Structure 1
Amino acid sequence: MKSTLPTSVDVLVVGAGPAGLTASTVLHSRGVHHLTVDRAPLGTNTSRAAVVHARTLEVLDDIGIADTLVERGVVVPTFTVRDHDRVLVTIGFDDLPTRFPYTLMVPQNITEAVLADHLRTQGGSITPGWRLDRIDLDTDPGRVHADLVDEDGRRSTIAARYLIAADGMHSTARELVGIPFQGAAYPQSFVLADVRMDWSLPADEVQLFFSPAGLVVVAPLPGGHHRVVATVDDAPEHPDLADITDLLSTRGPRSNPTHVHEVAWSSRFRVHHRLAATYRHGPVLLAGDAAHVHSPAGGQGMNIGIQDAALLANLIADVTTGDAPDQSLDAYEERRRPIARGVVRLTDRMTRAATLHGPATRVRNLALRTAGALPPVRHALAMNLSELNTGERQTHAPATRRSPRRATSEPGQHR
């Protein structure tokens, strides 16, 4: 039988994905009385997001899990944009002013597992199997009363000073308090697949291919797999080996075609570019996909969600411990929403540029190759993609770098 939930906490966190787990971990470390719930059992997420950027690793380093995550992932120091075999621009991360001068490729389920394991070792916990059903902001002004329901229909009401809505793009909390989610959906489907394949390009690079048929991104994953992300007008629900082979043969390298051996996992999804009109409605605050969603080009969605949650949890901890007034929470939206707005715009431009047709492709390619030849431009792009160019970043000494494990080819893979 399930244990009874508390009737009152300082903070209720709804959602135990990367943003919710980050918030819970920070709140626990700060001694804040909180409860984190999720409608799904823990560990049921698939790989989905797979990119962890340098700024996020700095945030996770503050929490105490960056080294563990790096050991579980694949270090990738280079991002390359191509038109089939032609390199348009190569962006290196090696010279970034951080202890983590690279992109880390690690499936989302591993990121969540590392966060959850760390939380448990510190004495914290997550309560699965409960969904948010109703929010009451009128009974007790200044507090939120949340009605939760479990899979058996049992109900529980919790009073909290604050509710962190980390419950995803279809956020129940956001909808219940009436915060508009402004934007639209892309007309195409997006395909995700984790595959084993013979790959002629360097194993320690993320590759973004432009094609009139749509973009495709290929990146290394642990265990000799590669992640493939592509836009498709009408993708099947579970793309198979023939589907992925066709995508890579028509959009990827031509001089040395790719041979896909196995599709370990695949899915399709619709992508939106949306931004919440506000991040706060009284004691309810949004984080992660509940606040912003966008194209996966650049792999920044989960990253800014984790960064949202870490900042928000620390600001709330300052308030609940009496070190700051409630009004200080307004700084959360002021600091984080412009960053999300910039990412939504950047990824939208990348997605649309990747699918240009006709003479426009030659103009695009020439512009990229010309700009990419300039070291200051490449550095600016690296700072942007790694999210080290935001005002959120505190000083992290770039000295004392590890020698992390980089991607290597397995037997049967070509370099």
Structure 2
Amino acid sequence: MKTAAAPSLAFALLLLGTTLGLAGTDLVLPAVPDLPDVLGGSAAMAQLVLAAFVAGGCIGLILFGELGARADQRRLLVGSLIAYALVSLACALAPSLPALVGLRFLHGLSGAAAAVFAPGMIRAMFSEAGAVRALGLMGSVESLVPALAPVAGVWLLAAFGWTSSFYLIAVLSLIVAVLVRALGSSLPVPPPTRSQGSYIRLLKNPTYMRYALSQACTLGGLLIFVFGAPAMMTKALGLSLNAFILMQVTGIAFFILASNIAGRLADMFGAERMILAGSGISALGLMGLSMYGNAGGTDPLMITALFVPVNLGLGLRGPPGFFHAILASDGDDARGAALVILFILSMTATGTAIAAPLVTAGLSPLAGVAASFSCISIILLASLRPLKAR
């Protein structure tokens, strides 16, 4: 059913909800080094403030994917936002660092609903072309969060202290919850979920796995490189962090451009061609970085130029790829979206762990690990059957 009283308003609410979930890491990030001085504990325990949030988010994805297949997703979204706000408030009032770590697990868990429900609701609100465009716009905004939220976090930390980020998240989450509750008719009734659906059924569906895993491998390849790039550039190449900032800002700009034209290009050339082409372009960019590093290259401008196709390819394949994963879930939208995001987190975590000992060895090893994950995406697309043309 593709009926909604105000699709643009509904989409804005979903976008705000998913952005707040992402901000739970990036907005808090600048305060982490100072937490042991304020709450006691060690620097290692302070890092668990971030890790606990991610771990809770992974559990939340599975939980809300299951609940969303059984209950009204609009009510679940409101409840999730309220819980997210209350846990944010509790984090600000945490008496010790161990208590904050425990609360952050609940924080990540409670904030996962919007990311799970948004793709299915977007599918219900728009046509296929409109949904791809909406997912592209959502991806564009979400890509800015890791770049802009830490800057806001630094300002909040300096002006109001470490608790201010949690208070801000709490207030904004409550506002969005109230708006979703008051304007619930603007959110669509999600499409019917298969009564016999399950995560096991999705894992056994080769067509769904084709889109879900290839999406995770392409995005995971990019994130593996990004997560290791600061240490690689400063420790191995002797560059400043300005080189990393230049690379990131340029990459995000091209990702935003590509993700917002992906829907139109998919209409013109077909979604399958865009998914395959985008995956190939992204993989070629990472392989180019690896070869450049193997040749002894260290020029930050050249690294930035080679990083452009990595982002461009992801932007071209990201929106149609995610949408086709939802289509391939065969009506099991909530579980389907949850698994895609969980695969992305898992691929990124695995690749980052593999690359961790190599980041100080230079550009080539890090880019090579990232490229290997990105190339797996192409293998999956070539070996597993696509959706039938409709």
In the superposition, the TM-score normalised over structure 1's length comes to 0.24
State TM-score, norm by structure 2. Answer: 0.25
Higher helix share: 2
Larger Rg: 1
Q: More strand by proportion, 1 or 2?
A: 1
